[in-house]
Amino acid sequence: MKKKKWFLLFVIACLILTACTEYRVLERISLVTLIGYDVEDGDVTATSVVRQINPEFESSIEIHSETAETSKGTRVKTDLQSAKKLMAGQLRVTLFGDDLAKEGIEEAIHTLAMNSEITTSIYLAVVDGKSKTLLEGQYPNIADVGQHIFNLIDHNINQQQMISSTLHEVVRDIYASFRDFALPKVKKSGEYIDISGIALFKDGKMVGSLPASDSFYVLLIRENINDGTLQLVLPGELAESSKNPPNYQPEELPIAIDAIKTKRDLKIINENEIDLSISLDCRLLEIHSSLAISDKKITEKIEKEINKKIESEIERIIKYSQEVNSDIFGFGEHFYAFTRNSKLTEEKWREIYPNLKVNVKIDTEIIRSGVFE
């Protein structure tokens, strides 16, 4: 009996003591929350935002920048600079300078995807300029630039103001044969950081960009959305048709709408033609007070004008993506999925896409217009 007890004690001791094989005490590590990559004469420059937890004081933010041949090499160099072990498990955003983005980020993304320490839910974005200058800039109102950029991207994606760019989605699209990906673009503007647009990629290389105001349309073409606000400028003649025409005759009539529910529908007509119809249920947020929006006729007119306007904007955006030959909307995937024995190859789609005819049809319905007429 006694022997058994000792044996049990031995086993318990073994299990409990050896549980400390790999410990990571929060106070003894520093957390990398954001990494920005740039390219400099063929070498990679990694700028990392590192949060250090200190039990006595507030946690501090440090920014390290190192240049090496591989991204892991920069990590080793950064490790040499910092007093605590660097851990990438809390990484939330990875930025790419636009020089690197133009050169191609496929390899950098491959490295990220290989690492089990990093989740696939981190956001990727492109910087207008160098990510080093963005991160090392002085921002009096921003305490933690890493967390700030993450929140900036995160809330805009959640509100469907910006296309989603998690590592998973980018990896999915990068390896998909008939699809290209797009990333949000961030920019330093004075003492603030803005989302400035959308970067379009082709084969992992940045080939063009769209302004941030177009992101609603890009989302509209890509998927079904249920949020996101859009401002439109409609022609001024609409105001004339109101019951009490306003004293002044505006040349333009700005309005703002908010998508409640949209549904995108693609229909293949033939190899080089596709129908894109989007139904858009929206809420009117802002309109000139003189327009009697409860009048059905006027509402219909407004809807028609909105349709026209959105159609032309979408046509412009699709045309631009065709010019740079970057199929960020996944039309190719649709072609492949809905034609039997299509024998579509990546090269063939690259030839078809610039000349693809897309017939855009928008069907807007204003279903709500606030509490005051």
Partner 1 sequence: MKKTLSISESELINAPLLFFIINACQIGVGIHGFQRLIYQDAKQDAWISVIISFIFAHFIVFIMIKTLEMFPSNDLYGIHQEVFGKFIGNFFNLIYIFYSSFAFLVVLKNYIEVINVWIFPNLSATFLGASLLMIVIYAFNGGFRVLVGICFFSFICTLWVPSILFIPMEYSEISQLLPLFDNHLKDIIKGAYAMTFTIIGFEIINIVYPYVKEKNKVQRYVHLGLFATLLLYLSIMLISLTYFSGPQLEKTIWATLNLFSIIKFPFIERVEIITICLWMIIILPNLCLFAWSTHRGVIRMVNISSKKFIWIFSTVMLIFILFIKSRSQINHINNIFSHFGFVVVFVYPLFIYLMALIRNSFLKRKRTN
CB of 120 to partner 1, least distance (A): 5
Contact between 333 and partner 1 per CB under 8 A: yes
Pairing state between β 60-68 and 43-52: antiparallel
CB of 99 to partner 1, least distance (A): 27
- Specify the stretch interacting with partner 1 by CB under 8 A; choose among 80-88, 171-179, 237-245, 300-308: 171-179
Contact between 347 and partner 1 per CB under 8 A: no
Q: Which of 52, 82, 111, 119 binds partner 1 (CB under 8 A)?
A: 119
CB of 173 to partner 1, least distance (A): 7
216 sits in the region (left: phi over 0; alpha: psi -120 to 50; else beta) called alpha
Q: Which of 3, 4, 15, 248 binds partner 1 (CB under 8 A)?
A: 15
- Specify the stretch interacting with partner 1 by CB under 8 A; choose among 11-19, 134-142, 206-214, 274-282: 11-19
Contact between 154 and partner 1 per CB under 8 A: no
Counting Cα atoms < 13 Å in the Cβ hemisphere of 320 gives 18
Contact between 179 and partner 1 per CB under 8 A: yes
53 has which bridge partners? none
- Sign of the torsion angle spanned by Cα atoms 152, 161, 154, 107: negative
Contact between 177 and partner 1 per CB under 8 A: yes
Contact between 180 and partner 1 per CB under 8 A: no
User: What is Dmax (Cα atoms) for the chain?
Assistant: 103
Contact between 339 and partner 1 per CB under 8 A: yes
Q: Which of 106, 136, 169, 258 binds partner 1 (CB under 8 A)?
A: 169
Q: Interface mask (CB under 8 A) for partner 1, residues 84-103, using x and -?
A: -----x--------------
User: If you write DSSP's letter for every residue of 54-103 in order, what string do you get?
Assistant: -SSS--EEEEEEEEESSHHHHHHHHHHH-SSEEE-TT--EEEEEHHHHHH
Closer CB to partner 1, residue 25 or residue 371?
Answer: 25
Of residues 111, 48, 54, 117, the one with CA closest to residue 77: 48
CB of 88 to partner 1, least distance (A): 12
- Calpha distance 149→130 (Å, rounded): 15
Contact between 173 and partner 1 per CB under 8 A: yes
Q: Which of 28, 72, 155, 172 binds partner 1 (CB under 8 A)?
A: 172
Counting Cα atoms < 13 Å in the Cβ hemisphere of 96 gives 28
Contact between 176 and partner 1 per CB under 8 A: yes
Contact between 301 and partner 1 per CB under 8 A: no
- Calpha distance 96→368 (Å, rounded): 41
Q: Which of 54, 59, 60, 120 binds partner 1 (CB under 8 A)?
A: 120
User: If you write DSSP's letter for every residue of 3-34 in order, what string do you get?
Assistant: HHHHHHHHHHHHHHHGGGSS---GGGEEEEEE
Q: Which of 264, 301, 334, 348 binds partner 1 (CB under 8 A)?
A: 334
Of residues 244, 49, 69, 257, the one with CA closest to residue 137: 49
- Calpha distance 310→308 (Å, rounded): 6
Binding footprint of partner 1 on the chain (CB under 8 A): 11, 15, 18, 21-22, 89, 116, 119-121, 166, 168-169, 171-177, 179, 330, 333-334, 336-342
